[in-house]
Structure 1
Amino acid sequence: MAVSKAVMLMPRGIQVCVVALALFTATPSYAADTSAVGVHGMVVSESEDAARAGVEILKQGGNAVDAAVATALAVGVTNPAACGIGGGGFMLIYIAKAHAFYALDYRETAPLQARPDMYMRNGKPDEDLARDGILGVAVPGEIAGIDAALRRFGTMKFQQIAAPAEKLAGDGYAASPHLAGEIAQLASKLKNDPGLSQVFLKPDGSAPKAGDMIVEKNLAATLKSLCDDPVRNFYHGQVASALVAFMKARGGLLSAADLTNYRPDWRDPIRRRYEGYEVYAMPPPSSGGVVLEMLGALDSGHLAGLGVNSPPYLARLIEVMRQGFIDRERYADPDFIGVDVQKLLSDTNIQQLRERALHPKEMRPPPAAHDHGTSNLLVVDKDGNVVALTTTINTVFGAKMSVPALGLILNDEMDDFAVAPGVPNAYHLEGERANEVRPGKRPLSSMTPIIVTKSGVPVMTTGGSGGPTIVSGVLQVALNILAFHLDAASAVAEPRIHEQAAPDIVIVEQAMPPATRSALEQMGYKLKVVPNLGAVGAITIAPANLRGAFDPRKGGGAIGY
């Protein structure tokens, strides 16, 4: 009976193929070694060392915000290609005592000297200028953001929380297989930067192997120099002076005024129901609203009857993803563009998205507007406080530049703006005017940490890294838990797909069974098979029963106590 309902809700052109595959059920993947169980607390991170740093703070009496900041600082050391104090991010917070959610936006901003045509050369846009090099650098928000979170909800001083990260940077840490691979892949570019080559390459210019020690002494010194007033020392003190001098000497736009004027923003979280749950997400310039739209379009869709990763389920998912990414062009920095989130999340708009997904036209709608160098972490403490945090320097190793004296890797967040309408960024997401460069503006982001409640109490949290695949990854892991009732490790390990409207192609992980891929092709979908799609972590939350899992695609740590 469930299969019949599913077929009726599928686009007509693929109903025949679906009927033929109605009895298909994908076999769940299990990855017990990526998971952990906790009674009092749980930290999930894309670095085991960083997760351990967060748990250390919890055991010292810190709360979830303290531990999240400690983990973020530590992962900025051990996953330097993905994030760090030269970047920025989003933090979604649940405070149990207040039964309240808070959204902190410390996304990077465009320098005050930035302008919409800054990447035009000889009448044509040169998108490479926004990806590698000094013109890709936006104003970092990481330190301002974590300081704001600590001052409002933390219980510890910055230096106490930063101590694990300082130790990892100063004493060294073993390169993970993922980091070693990223360094090897970009070795030719890292050689061109004195700071990056000195820290991340061997004396002969070769890349380190997994397990080799990496030491970041200058970064350790910078973290220590921030003392217990990190904003004053980073944005107004010696760190600011060194950063501005470096930028000026190389023709960069970031100025002392940019650092002085930077402020993180406390925003109102957004939410929408899914089945019997309430899903909370970051508002724009995050893509949290896109995930909520997709969940809304799949609400009451009887997904469990289809079977996890069955062709009928994946076909429905593909159509909803496509329409969600088309809607994504309506999202931008709300301080510059009027984003009517309530309208986008309204029942009327969700119903329209659902109808477009279920009855696609021959001609596809216009493509949507647009981080891989990103890291996500999740924390739950003994009091039930929850933090979902995503942090980034955008693409791998950001601008491929560092300030050697500071050990600071520079972001290339300007690539997340629209270089010019119709010009794809590094993730093949095309630019639109809503996301064009403006001084002081935050670029649209794919980062979308979420927290899910039932009867007003958090039951799970998830978030990811991997550019636009964050949106599709978070969506699928959430559905794996909420609709298919998988445990955290199984939900994270299941093979995933990605469809973002432009290019109109379905990206499928290699682990997806060949029979499933063949079925999708028979339905008329164009597939591109890739080894992996991003990385997503998850924690399921129940009294005295916390279950966390990191993504084996990227590695990491899940530690409970």
Structure 2
Amino acid sequence: MTRTRFLRRHLLACLSVAVFASCASSRPGAPPPGPAAVLSAPRPEETKVSAPALATPASAPAGQPAQPASPAPPAPVTGPDDGGAVAAAAATDVAVGRQGAVTSAAPEATAIGLAVLQKGGNAVDAAVAVAFALGVAHPTAGNIGGGGFLVIRTPAGLVTSLDYRETAPGAATADMYLDAKGDPTRDSRIGPRAAGIPGDVAGMALAHKRFGKLPWKDLVMPAVALARDGFVLDSFHAEDMQWGAKSMGDYLAQLEADPKANPALREAVRKTVALFRRPDGTPLAQGDRWVQPELAKTLEAIAKGGAKAFYRGRLAARMAKEVKAMGGIWTAKDLAGYKVLERKPVTFDYRGHQVFTMAPPSAGGITLRQVLAASESLNFQKLTWTSVERIHLYAEALRRIYADRNLLVADPDFAKVPMERLLDATYIAARLGTIDPERATPSSKISAGVELEEKPETTHFSVVDGAGLAVANTFTLNGGFGAKVLIPGTGVMLNNEMDDFTAKPGTPNMFGLVQGPQNAVAPGKRMLSSMTPTIVTLGGKVRLVCGSPGGPTISTTVAQVVMQVIDYGVPLEQAVAASRIHHQWMPDAIFHEGDLPPATLKALEAKGHKLMSRGRIGHANCIEVDPGTGELRAVADVARDGGDAAAF
């Protein structure tokens, strides 16, 4: 890691402890927006695992922030039969401790979570604080206008999951995203009609009510301070902000060019674009301090009034009114009626371990079960990780698994999901029995191919405390920066989760997923998801906590980390850095990270595979617990999209 990133992480930890202790009081002297200096201070009682130094940052022009060297791409990790593992420390951030560990997509959020643990909070307290902090510091995916899933395991062995996925508004209809010709419009992807009723705040509130220790206000106020006083953009988040501002700017240009565009929507998008740029209109850059005063006020209301402040009363009434004015269909009744559902996790055994993950409306648990069953049935453990044979068999298994995922899984409260069949080992083996070990099975025999579009739209964090309480949480706005518009006066970014419904069977959504009528839009229904927060135990104790963003690649990312740790016995940082591939039935292609050897690509093509290089796949944030010593090892997948790991 670079010295700048290392020092910055240590400063963040100390700052978060100070913020946690004092954020309940007002701070009128908040620093103004603009470049901020990076100071250094030690993080107490934490062990960081040193990584090989990256290239020295190049000098920046006078008056501009220095740019850190780009992290090395993830190195391919291979099985034990090909000469040993590839060092992966440069691609990850690793922290080791015994009393608590946190890993997330934003250093600020990780530091706040660590401070909660150090103050005596448990893993759920830390998770709540991290979630709200990500709503500030990771706006591409973490804003409180979204929803997600959370899996919790207590030290006593109780495992449960919370479904706080967004729901379709009461006025939603199955054909609301079709034009007069019956073709899908873009309304499910951008603008106020794309937004489902958010569940983030309610999800954290129920988790805290059931399992938290510290006062709710103490867990939300650090995020208030972060939004009010701002935080310094690192290279990853500066790039996100630049992309987001451009996307929002393009949307604004379309609205300004359309004389029929909704005036309230046009003005709201104009203000949204302004927030995501400097005051002079130029793009935000690394080293800039970004403040969100309206979001700070909303979060403060939540800190003082709990989830009721978000879903009922003046704030809820304002959100419903503003969304309606922009052309959306939210109502105050929709917000007041939102409920978090506690669901029984998908649970199964894998090579002597027990795996707990998410049930529908997330397809993640079913997909993970089928992928790991394929690993056992096809004996991936005896094959080299990057071998042609393993990749071929893995891709063929995924082709069949994602056909099931896309056509059979939906919200179980609205559709019949054949859970027992999909999780049954005999059924899975029968599906795998149709694989030809020498030739790829064309997906076109099942349905027509489509092209994949993928964005870093989701975020995952993991927390484990010294008592063994573990939390795996994945939440999202769907596409990057959701519907590309903030609810005026609130700082809340609208999600575009309605695109995860099936607008028209057989037509791909923004992730290229072709889904069936099981997942059609209906009032109050929860859209199908790929989120896969996962906890693995061994001998009755937590062994691994893991998850990832990445749309349909989430489940395959988690599966590959689990297989690396359990099947190949490699260190977690190496498992996280390992080369990943993905296949999702449609489109008919193996997606890879561009690091497979030419000979491997050629051999796979000879078997009939189409291959597409698509850069990074997933962004795993995981914690491993040593089964012998109880040592916690937190790993952040920094090479793929930044983030930070912390432990003490």
TM-based fold match above 0.5: yes
Quote the RMSD (CA, aligned, Å): 2.1
Counterpart of 1:512? 596
Q: Does 2:341 correspond to 1:254?
A: no
Q: Does 2:414 correspond to 1:336?
A: yes
2:435–2:441 Cα contact (<8 Å) kept: no
2:103–2:636 Cα contact (<8 Å) kept: yes
| Whole-angstrom distance in 2 between the partners of 1:536 and 1:79 | 15
Per-residue CA distance 1:280-315 (angstroms, 9 max, x = gap): 111001121111111112215432321222222211
- Residues 54-453 of structure 1 aligned to structure 2 (within 5 Å): 54-97=113-156, 99-191=157-249, 192=252, 193-287=269-363, 288-299=365-376, 301-328=378-405, 329-358=407-436, 361=441, 364-366=445-447, 372-453=456-537
Q: Which amino acid aligns with 2:647?
A: G
> How far 1:228 moved relative to its partner?
4.3
| Whole-angstrom distance in 2 between the partners of 1:127 and 1:264 | 30
> How far 1:29 moved relative to its partner?
4.5
Q: Which amino acid aligns with 2:523?
A: P
> How far 1:259 moved relative to its partner?
0.4
Per-residue CA distance 1:386-423 (angstroms, 9 max, x = gap): 10000101000000010231111110010110111111
Compared CA separation, residues 514 and 26, structure 1 to 2 (3 A): farther
1:415–1:426 Cα contact (<8 Å) kept: yes
2:194–2:499 Cα contact (<8 Å) kept: yes
Partner SS for 2:547: strand
Per-residue CA distance 1:75-108 (angstroms, 9 max, x = gap): 11111011221001100000112x1100100000
- Determine which of 621, 624, 630 is the counterpart of 1:544: 630
Per-residue CA distance 1:445-465 (angstroms, 9 max, x = gap): 011111111122221111000
| Whole-angstrom distance in 1 between the partners of 2:572 and 2:102 | 13
Q: Which runs of 5+ in 1 are unaligned?
A: 1-21
| Whole-angstrom distance in 1 between the partners of 2:185 and 2:631 | 48
| Whole-angstrom distance in 2 between the partners of 1:74 and 1:341 | 35
Q: Does 2:98 correspond to 1:39?
A: yes
Per-residue CA distance 1:44-78 (angstroms, 9 max, x = gap): 10111111111111111111111111111111111
Partner SS for 1:125: coil
> How far 1:28 moved relative to its partner?
2.7
| Whole-angstrom distance in 2 between the partners of 1:413 and 1:390 | 14
| Whole-angstrom distance in 1 between the partners of 2:448 and 2:367 | 15
> How far 1:120 moved relative to its partner?
1.1
| Whole-angstrom distance in 2 between the partners of 1:106 and 1:348 | 32
Aligned residues: 540
Partner SS for 2:641: coil
Partner SS for 2:285: coil
1:147–1:230 Cα contact (<8 Å) kept: yes
TM-score norm. by structure 1 comes to 0.92
> How far 1:211 moved relative to its partner?
2.5
Compared CA separation, residues 418 and 25, structure 1 to 2 (3 A): farther
Q: Which runs of 5+ in 2 are unaligned?
A: 1-79, 253-268
Higher mean C-alpha deviation, range 518-527 or range 442-451: 518-527
Partner SS for 1:254: coil
Compared CA separation, residues 560 and 123, structure 1 to 2 (3 A): same
Compared CA separation, residues 110 and 517, structure 1 to 2 (3 A): same
Compared CA separation, residues 332 and 25, structure 1 to 2 (3 A): farther
TM-score norm. by structure 2 comes to 0.80
| Whole-angstrom distance in 2 between the partners of 1:227 and 1:34 | 31
Q: Which amino acid aligns with 2:597?
A: P
- Residues 421-500 of structure 1 aligned to structure 2 (within 5 Å): 421-500=505-584
| Whole-angstrom distance in 2 between the partners of 1:361 and 1:116 | 33
> How far 1:227 moved relative to its partner?
3.2
| Whole-angstrom distance in 2 between the partners of 1:455 and 1:358 | 37
| Whole-angstrom distance in 1 between the partners of 2:622 and 2:398 | 21
